[in-house]
Amino acid sequence: MASVRVAVRVRPLNTREKQLSSKVIIHMMGNTTSIHKPSPVRGDELKDGGKTFSYDFSYDSTDRGSPTFASQERIFHDLGSDVLKAAFDGLNACVFAYGQTGSGKSHTMMGHTDDKGLIPRICEGLFCEISHRSRNDAVSFCTEVSYLEIYNERVQDLLNKGTASTDGGGLRVREHPRDGTYVENLSKHSVHKHSDMEDLIILGNANRTTASTGMNSSSSRSHAIFTIRFTQAWFDAELPHETLSKIHLVDLAGSERADATRTTGGRLKEGANINKSLVTLGSVISALADLSVGGQLTKKKKQIFIPYRDSVLTWLLKDSLGGNSITTMIATISPADVNYNETLSTLRYASRAKNIMNSPTVNEDGSVKVIRELQAEVTRLRRLLEEANQLKEVQISLGGHSLRLMGTTEESILGVYTYSQELTKELCWAILGIMCPGDNRATEHPLLHGDLMKMSLEWQTCIPDLLLDAGLRVCCQFQKSLADLVYLLHSNMDQEIVTLGEVQLLLYTSVGVCVSSSTRSEAQAQLLLTETHLGLVQEDAVFHPAPRSVTIEPRRPQFHDFTLRRRSDVRCLLVHDEDRRGAVRLDVILANVRGRGHPESVTKGATPPAHASNSSPHAEVWKLTFSCSSEAACLINHFKCLIKD
Ligand SMILES: Nc1ncnc2c1ncn2[C@@H]1O[C@H](COP(=O)(O)OP(=O)(O)OP(=O)(O)O)[C@@H](O)[C@H]1O
């Protein structure tokens, strides 16, 4: 919210006032303006305490030689530069000059060639700033100008006199649901340089209705609105931005009393219409001022009606009065005692306007805003999709235990290994159920409903990858894992086995291994059975997230403990009863080979997986738990000859 800024400017005594030996009754100090009632006794004016008003600015322009003289330059510096700032900030701005006829409105707004007013200075400042910013910023600017007058409540185009409607009733004022009031068929002129703007100002001023009144030899008989539509377009972070600022610079016609200006006939009718607009402007200002008292909205807010549509002027300036604009009112006054009543009325009018609260907001082009919002949405959705492609964290609870799997990048691989293929499948279903809810294709896939053990032993097995929603890929790594294991196995086998091709895998599965002397009880290991050897391999982890950088190869499982024994070392198998969960335990009793100096028990870690702690000192026992009886049966079958009742 921003209140309307109000400035008061007093002009020098004019010739007529001097001829009447008028006294100066206006005094300014700082931001205050005082007016003293003329006294019938000469020299007694100042004995009246007078009335003092305070405004945002009080400009004393009565005496050029005075150190406090307010020049056109100073007024532009104080008021015009804020209009330029608003324009470049994408805000609407409005400056209107209000005052008695001949009080200096046109002088302040337009001025003369050798003493330019606000409008030409704002235009000059705008192009100066555009050329400065064009050098430094990648912004494009578009400036359009229109200039109209409201004469006898009719709108005329000052830049194209021929556009008035055929019935001579002037241009129509209409209201757009989003853009607000506008004048139909009003010409808009694209301006590319300051001199173009100057030409348009000269043309418009020449077309303006003026007449000579008793108060002013060249009195503006109409309200004139000079409008600059200023658009800026640029890209920020590859997203388009566009702001539009509307700047209304308004020179109101003066209200005059018939007796003071000796107007008659047509001039009198004009006066009535001028007054109609100004009276409505006064009512609008009063109603808006009532809406806010000391910046606080009154409780009666809803009952207050703002009569914008009662005059063309207030209807067109609706946004500038209590709406979306940074608005400044300049009240111009005469210093002379003969104008006491008019001047006091102006000062009161101006004082009331101080209470109007506006709510300026940046005007973004609607379609560009939509494009930018859509682009931002696309970026957001893309990021979501990328995130969906990454496994971040999955938590699964099984029988009170929870398993936490974490990955960081799209390259992440979640390897699921358990000692039971049933448990592995259950886990995979649970994970996929979380990540791709409702997608039943995974349950049909051979990996999740076939016999994993059989598939893993088939060197030729070719299981197609399954691509699920959210970019999740289900695939098997059997061949890669087996190749690793077989190389490992081979390098630790007896020297008699010379080629890798002769290593024939008979069983490859996960088992629980009881390591009685280790802190790691119930460790998991991969069990390998070849025609010649039996091996237990422990990996460092079950899940290996790939490193963030794609240039580094994803980390492969590392094999910890590796224990290899010849099949011929197996003395017997002890088969225990299935437990409640259907798990089967087998004790593999091996010949004690310690001290034999044989490299068969090669351990990358320190501890062999099992010790014959409860059997013969010459024997070694591997206590293996198969979660699935079919896998246990597979091992038993291969050692049939060794099984004893
Ligand atoms: N601050 C000022 N310094 C010097 N001369 C001024 C000043 N203000 C006004 N004048 C002179 O006073 C005369 C009347 O001023 P101006 O035409 O600006 O009044 P106005 O308020 O626009 O009147 P109207 O409502 O009749 O159009 C002009 O000759 C103008 O040059």
> Looking at residue 63, what is its pLDDT?
93
Q: What percent of the chain has pLDDT over 90?
A: 30
Q: Compute the distance between CA of residue 406 and CA of residue 154 in angstroms, rounded to an integer.
A: 74
| Ligand 1 lined by 267 (C-beta under 6 Å) | no
User: Has residue 259 got a pLDDT over 50?
Assistant: no
> Looking at residue 263, what is its pLDDT?
45
369 is in an annotated binding site: no
273, 240 Cβ separation under 8 angstroms: no
Tokens of 52: 């003092």
Q: Which atom of ligand 1 is nearest to the CA of 61?
A: 1
101 is in an annotated binding site: yes
Q: Which of 81-85, 192-196, 245-249, 634-638 is predicted with the least confidence, judged by mean pLDDT?
A: 634-638
- Distances, alpha carbon 601 to alpha carbons 536, 595, 615, in Å: 10, 11, 19
> What residue owns the CA closest to ligand 1's atom 10?
104
What phi-psi label fits residue 453: left (phi over 0), alpha (psi between -120 and 50 degrees) or beta?
Answer: alpha
Closest CA to 120 of 175, 171, 80: 80
- CATH code matching the domain that covers 4-368, chosen among 3.40.640.10, 3.40.50.10490, 3.40.850.10, 3.60.140.10: 3.40.850.10
476, 424 Cβ separation under 8 angstroms: no
> Looking at residue 2, what is its pLDDT?
80
Identify which of 462-471, 486-495, 624-633 has the greatest average pLDDT: 624-633
pLDDT band at 493 (very low <50, low <70, confident <90, very high): confident
148-190 pLDDT, tens digit each: 999 888 899 999 877 655 456 689 988 887 778 899 999 999 9
265 is in an annotated binding site: no
> What residue owns the CA closest to ligand 1's atom 26?
219
| Ligand 1 lined by 214 (C-beta under 6 Å) | no
- Distances, alpha carbon 597 to alpha carbons 477, 536, 592, 593, 602, in Å: 36, 20, 12, 8, 11
Tokens 């530069």 belong to: 81
Task: Give me ligand 1 centre to Cα 272, in Å.
Answer: 22
User: Has residue 334 got a pLDDT over 90?
Assistant: yes
Average pLDDT value for the chain: 78
CATH 3.40.850.10 spans which residues of the chain?
Answer: 4-368
Whether complex ipTM tops 0.95: yes
How large is the average pLDDT for residues 265-274? Answer: 53
| Ligand 1 lined by 99 (C-beta under 6 Å) | yes
103 is in an annotated binding site: yes
| Ligand 1 lined by 223 (C-beta under 6 Å) | no
246, 365 Cβ separation under 8 angstroms: no
| Ligand 1 lined by 208 (C-beta under 6 Å) | no
DSSP character at residue 429: H
Q: Which of 33-37, 194-198, 462-466 is predicted with the least confidence, judged by mean pLDDT?
A: 462-466
Q: Compute the distance between CA of residue 578 and CA of residue 598 in angstroms, rounded to an integer.
A: 35
Closest CA to 634 of 457, 492, 445: 457
Cβ partners under 8 Å of residue 360, min gap 6: 2, 86, 91, 92, 324, 325, 326
Residue type, 642: L
User: Has residue 62 got a pLDDT over 90?
Assistant: yes
User: Has residue 1 got a pLDDT over 80?
Assistant: no
Task: Give me ligand 1 centre to Cα 36, in Å.
Answer: 22
Which string of b and e fits 583-612 if b means at least 16 CB within 10 Å? bbbbbbbbebeeeeeeebbbbeeebbbbbb
Tokens of 635: 């091992």
CB atoms within 10 A of CB 412: 19
Q: What is the Cα 513 distance to its own chain's centre?
A: 57
Q: What is the Cα 568 distance to its own chain's centre?
A: 73
105 is in an annotated binding site: yes
Q: Which residue out of 98, 116, 216, 249 has the highest number of ligand 1 atoms within 8 Å of its CB and is therefore the one to mutate?
A: 216
